[in-house]
Structure 1
Amino acid sequence: MAQHQITFVYGLLAPDTPELVDAHLNERNALWNRLINRHQATQTAFEAHLKQEFPHVASGQAQLAQERMALAIAVKDKVPDLQERKQRIKEQYDSLRALIDATPAIAALSQQHSQTLFELANQDIKASFLWWPNHETLMREFIQARARSLSKRMPLGYRAVAGEGSLYVTFKRPVPVLHLFGKCPTVAIVGEGRRRELKLTVATNGRCRADKQFATFPLIYHRPLPEGALVRQVRLVCRRVGSQRKYEAQFVLSGATRVEPPPGKKVAAGMDLGWRVTESGMRVATIVDEAGEGRHVELPADWMLRSDYVEDIDTQLSASLVPHIETFKSLALTRETAWLAPMLSRERPHAASLALKVLQAGQRPVPPAIAQWVASVRSLVEEQAHLREKLLAQRLDIYRKVVADCCRKYHTLSMEKLNLKSLQLVHGGDAWIDHQRRTHRHRAALSILIRLFKEAAHAKRIALAEHPAAYTTCTCHACGHINESKPTLEIKCAGCGVTWDQDENSATNFLIKIRPRHAA
């Protein structure tokens, strides 16, 4: 049985040799892009051979792709015959799969082109100056992404060569944490207290310590690594916030003992998911346990105000872009600046994204008119990017604390089986209402909260029971009477006269699904 792994994350300041780190990050991203080009070339050749030797299979695949595209449009337009379309596509897929399985020559042809791809990929990797742990992780990422791309018929995405990404130090034999403080030749933590230095191997030309190229980062050692754990991998992650770079170190450990709270009696609870703006912020979840105690998970009012400020900056940036759109579109038609065309080809170009791309352009050419506009809005773009980064981190911290608290108090959590795709649908009508709905959905980010709960359930810290949410809000938890849905938060039951909060009532109904009514 595989050991449970824990990742410890520490903040880093800029390294002493930023050009060395940038060179290897850019080489890793450039190598990824070369592998994608290889994949596209071999896939095009395979499809050409398939069309030439097995035209009936190629035409079947093309027809299936068209049907899938039509289905995606139909789902967006909410046409009534969705089930019939899905059934027809499933039948086409099954018949095509049976035809391919019955033709061994197609599998041989696919294997031949895959073998050619990986031979060329190995040549690219051998020609690269990257250290072997980065070769291995990049190849693993490429194989997994290629498999997903082929199964979903979606193209692989390129990576920007702009000093972003990850570098890896992988230990084939895990080393004790204590070795990082002087005995490990590839990673070293130097110093005492919170302010330390991380010495990390970026490249090596041989087996000796003198052959290694190190980058030294000021490290914020805010919590100690567990002494009894084993280090499996150290990751250096670099990402951009605005035009600045943020570094962090991730230590992947196994064998670390989890500190558990003192044992106590745990109970079951029910949770209702959904966003609702209140005077104190935005409510995203409500939890009620067997003892009748309830709590609301909220994004606080100051968080909402700062999010509104981010939206205001977005409006200012968009207004500043409008007078220049046509000029910028004409400038982006040249070959040198074609990388700007996709952002300007949209009906409503996102000004903040365009400005960030120009700020992160690196060596790519930027027309003077666009550069002048970016210079005029740079302070706003930087402020928005950094504020958004803080808001996302604060929201994630709130959700993590909620999940940790639930794991300490509850042994089972009964929750709504939420269809996240249905929440993305725009229901038409009032454009302002649709905009508010979309904005609040993005702010609530219920998918993050659900993911954290599922990760806790996977680690067996809590048990999850998911149920459909039909009528849970308006069905009285006390008598079972189904009331008329109302926009007010509090509803008085027409059956028994009990007044309850809609979210608390829904959470109690989810609890009732796993506990008798009298216990709830």
Structure 2
Amino acid sequence: MLTDGYFRVQDVTLPFRLVYHRPLPAGGYLKAATLVGTQTAPPVYRRQGGTVVQRPARWQWRLCLTVELPPAPRIARPPRQAAAIDVGYRVLDQDRVQVALVLAEDGTVERLILPEPILRSFRYLRELQQRIDTETEQLKQVLRERPPAGLPEAAQRLLSVLTKVRDGGLRRLLALCLEAQLDGPAVERLTAWAARVSSLRREAAGLRQRMIRHRNWWYQNQAARLCRAFGTLVIEALDLRELAEQEPTTPVQQEAAKYRQLAGLSRFRAALQHAAPRAGTTLVQIPAAGTTARCAACGRAMLGPREEQVLRCEQGHVADQDVNACRNLLQQWQASAGAAASQTGPGPRRWTRLRGFLSLLRCKYLSTQVIWSAADLSPGGR
């Protein structure tokens, strides 16, 4: 359904029109509305009739609504077995990237492998970026050999640090040349470069959005399937941001680090947290210390580098390190019966959604200035 409305930013009122995908959930209360803009394409320079014209950047806007929902009823289901999930990306071979391993209590092992279309999109995206880098380096070489004549002082400063200049600096150089009404082979090469790179960046931006949407959709489906199949899911309590800041030191780690953004493990964990209450599944988080380095069979240390998929302990037990980590998670959960672990089960989802909304947008204004009282959360509140 097509609808329109008004969005107020300080003293400015902005009209908008959007596609209303679905009505608000029954019994829900609208708590916040945020207009989010994403630049899908940079400005484009084109030559028309002997002059260079600039087309503005393209933007895509979304209206995000935060809705408070009443507590979901607890789903009565027959007893289901537990499973441990070792969340972490691993390059198995050229055509397979593992993002998680699932070990059920009965010993069944399942590897979650990213679908091949997502990998193809990722590799083509890297190819587009390489073409952009090649075009940029070739342009810099031309500007070093034949710099434009009559450049203004600001443009000369850019040429003096050409090695450090990126796309934005080259676009600034082109704008200065056009303002000074300069002409010549170098300016024509700058104009052609801007048109080609803009086209490549538009293609890359569209491909990246489709790839991420496909990955997130696949994560949501896998999380829903796992939550329907198991009554308890045990995962490691990891700080993914801290892991992402660790610099790779070996060639194997450097190759695997290229897939870090593609894997987007935080999205998969968020999908599990979102699907667990709906399926009546308990999500248990166990401290990650020692789950990989300790042998699940005897408790001794596992030997060998972490890059190796199969490790051997001091007593000679051989195990896949992801399977070994899942066994340790299950053993710790069974020993503690899940009582000492932080867990997320069926219950009110409104605070989870609200915290996720604030964390996703990192909106300082909402988190520090807006205060809701208990009356606001009651059925009679606003």
TM interval, short-chain normalised: 0.5 to 0.7
Relative to structure 1, the CA distance from residue 344 to residue 387 in structure 2 (aligned partners, 3 Å threshold; closer, same or farther) is farther
1:441 alignment partner, one of 260, 283, 287: 260
Counterpart of 1:199, as a letter, is D
After TM superposition, give the deviation of residue 220 of structure 1 in Å.
Answer: 5.5
| 2:135 corresponding residue in structure 1 | 320
After TM superposition, give the deviation of residue 412 of structure 1 in Å.
Answer: 4.8
1:215 alignment partner, one of 13, 16, 32: 16
Counterpart of 2:91, as a letter, is V
Counterpart of 1:421, as a letter, is E
Question: What is the CA deviation profile of residues 105-134 of structure 1, one whole-angstrom value per residue up to 9, with x for unaligned ones?
Answer: xxxxxxxxxxxxxxxxxxxxxxxxxxxxxx
Is 2:285 aligned against 1:465? yes
Counterpart of 2:92, as a letter, is T
Is 2:87 aligned against 1:273? yes
**CA–CA separation in structure 2 for the residues paired with 1:334 and 1:448:** 48
For CA contacts below 8 A with separation 6 or more, give which structure has more relative contact order: 2
Is 2:330 aligned against 1:511? yes
Structure 1 segments unaligned to the other structure (5+ residues): 1-195, 207-211
Is 2:24 aligned against 1:228? no
Relative to structure 1, the CA distance from residue 439 to residue 260 in structure 2 (aligned partners, 3 Å threshold; closer, same or farther) is farther
- SS of alignment partner, residue 212 of structure 2: helix
> Any residues of structure 2 matched to 1:172-321 within 5 Å, and which?
196-202=1-7, 214-217=15-18, 219=19, 221=21, 223-243=22-42, 244-255=58-69, 258=72, 263-278=77-92, 281-321=96-136
After TM superposition, give the deviation of residue 298 of structure 1 in Å.
Answer: 2.5
> Any residues of structure 2 matched to 1:68-217 within 5 Å, and which?
196-202=1-7, 214-217=15-18
Counterpart of 1:449, as a letter, is F
> What count of residue pairs does the alignment treat as equivalent?
300
Counterpart of 1:254, as a letter, is E
Q: Contact (CA 8 Å) 2:236, 2:287: kept in 1 or not?
A: yes
- SS of alignment partner, residue 310 of structure 1: helix
- SS of alignment partner, residue 415 of structure 1: strand
After TM superposition, give the deviation of residue 314 of structure 1 in Å.
Answer: 0.9
| 1:375 corresponding residue in structure 2 | 195
Question: What is the CA deviation profile of residues 330-370 of structure 1, one whole-angstrom value per residue up to 9, with x for unaligned ones?
Answer: 899955999x99x97748x4x5xx49x95xx9xx9464544
Between 381-390 and 399-408, the greater mean CA deviation after superposition: 399-408
Q: Contact (CA 8 Å) 2:83, 2:102: kept in 1 or not?
A: yes
After TM superposition, give the deviation of residue 398 of structure 1 in Å.
Answer: 2.6
After TM superposition, give the deviation of residue 316 of structure 1 in Å.
Answer: 1.1
The alignment's TM-score, normalised by the length of structure 2, stands at 0.62
After TM superposition, give the deviation of residue 451 of structure 1 in Å.
Answer: 5.0
**CA–CA separation in structure 2 for the residues paired with 1:405 and 1:328:** 56
**CA–CA separation in structure 1 for the residues paired with 2:224 and 2:328:** 23
What is the percent sequence identity of the aligned residues? 18
Counterpart of 1:248, as a letter, is R
Counterpart of 1:395, as a letter, is R
Structure 2 segments unaligned to the other structure (5+ residues): 43-57, 179-186, 337-382
2:221 alignment partner, one of 401, 412, 418: 401
Between 305-314 and 280-289, the greater mean CA deviation after superposition: 280-289
Counterpart of 1:468, as a letter, is A
- SS of alignment partner, residue 326 of structure 2: helix
Q: Contact (CA 8 Å) 1:273, 1:284: kept in 2 or not?
A: yes
Counterpart of 2:36, as a letter, is V
Relative to structure 1, the CA distance from residue 227 to residue 265 in structure 2 (aligned partners, 3 Å threshold; closer, same or farther) is same
- SS of alignment partner, residue 25 of structure 2: coil
Question: What is the CA deviation profile of residues 423-466 of structure 1, one whole-angstrom value per residue up to 9, with x for unaligned ones?
Answer: 43335565xx5642331223223344345556779999744323
Structure holding more strand per residue: 2
**CA–CA separation in structure 1 for the residues paired with 2:319 and 2:61:** 48
